[in-house]
Structure formats: C-alpha cells, structure tokens
C-alpha cells in the first residue's frame, strides 16, 4: 500500500510515564515516528503531543486505534483529514565567511527568518514554518555550509474553532 505523511494531535493526561507509553506502543508494534513534540496545554492536567508519522492507510488506522486504547490518551485527532496550520522551529548554524554574508542574509530575508546569533565566522538563524519551508530553506543553505541544526518536531492545530 501507498505510504504518506500523517500528523496526529494527541491530548493526553499530563502524568509521568505517558510519553513512554506512547513511545513504547510505537516501538513495540513497529510503527514509525518521524517527529514528536510535547508540551502542556492551557489545562495543566493535559499535554498535547503532536506526532508526525509515515505509513499506509491500514497502519494509520491501527495507530489511531491503539493510541485511543491507551488509558491516558484523551483524544486522537488526525489533522491530515482536515485543514490545519503547522509550524516547526529550527536553529541553523551556518558558516558565514565575509563573501557569503550578503547571500545568506538575502535567503534569510526571503524566508522571513531571523539571525539570532552572529560570530566572526558564523550566523545562527531561526526559522519557523511547515515542513516544506524548512526543506526548501535548508537546501538553499547547504552550499553555504551548515555547521549544525537543532529542530523541534512539528506542532499543529486544526483550522476550526473547536478543540
């Protein structure tokens, strides 16, 4: 079957061990996690996990059912079934030799990123956007010379009023 990328937004009890239950479910059943992002919500008893995974339609159905089966999982929302906004934050440290600085700043400008740290021979750039924007940005910076990257997983919310 054909695989595609799914983005799940999971509300869970904010308790010790919950992330381990979810991670264990994925490793134990051979499901794949592309990225994972966790933080508490406005309700301190509830955390939101945003998870990206790549699989086929039958597997995503099992993933959703198995997640729902965990006692600490409150809701599982498959954002890929609806419209949603997605963001991912990354810090990208690049070589910034004098002759390359203008080019880097131009790319930063085009992608509406920010330079958050400058050294004699490097820039650190903050980028926020969806997966596609990150990929495009990094492919342009690659020839300049990326030193290292720190990136969050995707976070996302549905484009609708309710939860």
Q: Which residues bind other proteins (CB under 8 A)?
A: 12-13, 17, 20-21, 24-25, 28, 58, 61-62, 65-66, 68-69, 71-74
| Closest separation in Å from C-beta 60 to other proteins | 12
| Closest separation in Å from C-beta 41 to other proteins | 14
Return the number of the residue (66 or 128) whose C-beta is nearest other proteins: 66
Return the number of the residue (12 or 154) whose C-beta is nearest other proteins: 12
β strands within the chain, DSSP E: 4-13, 35-40, 46-55, 73-78, 84-95, 114-118, 122-129, 146-151, 155-158
Residues 51, 7: contact at Cβ < 8 Å? Answer: yes
Return the number of the residue (65 or 82) whose C-beta is nearest other proteins: 65
Beta bridge partners of 11: 48, 75
Using CA atoms, how far apart are residues 64 and 86, in angstroms rounded to an integer?
20
Give the up-direction half-sphere exposure of residue 158: CA atoms within 13 A in the CB hemisphere: 14
Looking at residue 153, the DSSP 8-state letter turns out to be: P
| Closest separation in Å from C-beta 69 to other proteins | 6
150 by Cβ neighbours in 10 Å (0-12 / 13-18 / 19+) ranks as exposed
| Closest separation in Å from C-beta 116 to other proteins | 37
Return the number of the residue (25 or 38) whose C-beta is nearest other proteins: 25
Return the number of the residue (32 or 121) whose C-beta is nearest other proteins: 32
| Closest separation in Å from C-beta 23 to other proteins | 10
* C-alpha 59, offset from chain centre: 20
């Amino acid at each position: 079957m054909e695989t595609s990328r799914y983005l799940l937004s999971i509300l869970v009890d904010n308790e010790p061990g919950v992330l381990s239950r979810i991670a264990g479910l994925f490793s134990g059943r051979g499901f794949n996690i592309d990225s994972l992002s966790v933080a508490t919500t406005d309700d301190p008893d509830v955390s939101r996990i945003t998870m990206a995974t790549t699989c086929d339609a039958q597997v995503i159905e099992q993933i959703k059912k198995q997640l729902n089966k965990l006692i600490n999982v409150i809701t599982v929302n498959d954002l890929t079934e609806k419209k949603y906004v997605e963001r991912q934050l990354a810090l990208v440290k690049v070589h910034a030799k004098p002759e390359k600085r203008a080019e880097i700043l131009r790319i930063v400008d085009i992608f509406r990123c920010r330079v958050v740290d400058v050294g004699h021979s490097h820039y650190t750039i903050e980028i926020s956007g969806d997966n596609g924007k990150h990929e495009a940005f990094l492919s342009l910076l690659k020839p300049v010379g990326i030193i290292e990257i720190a990136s969050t997983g995707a976070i996302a919310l549905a484009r609708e009023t309710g939860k």
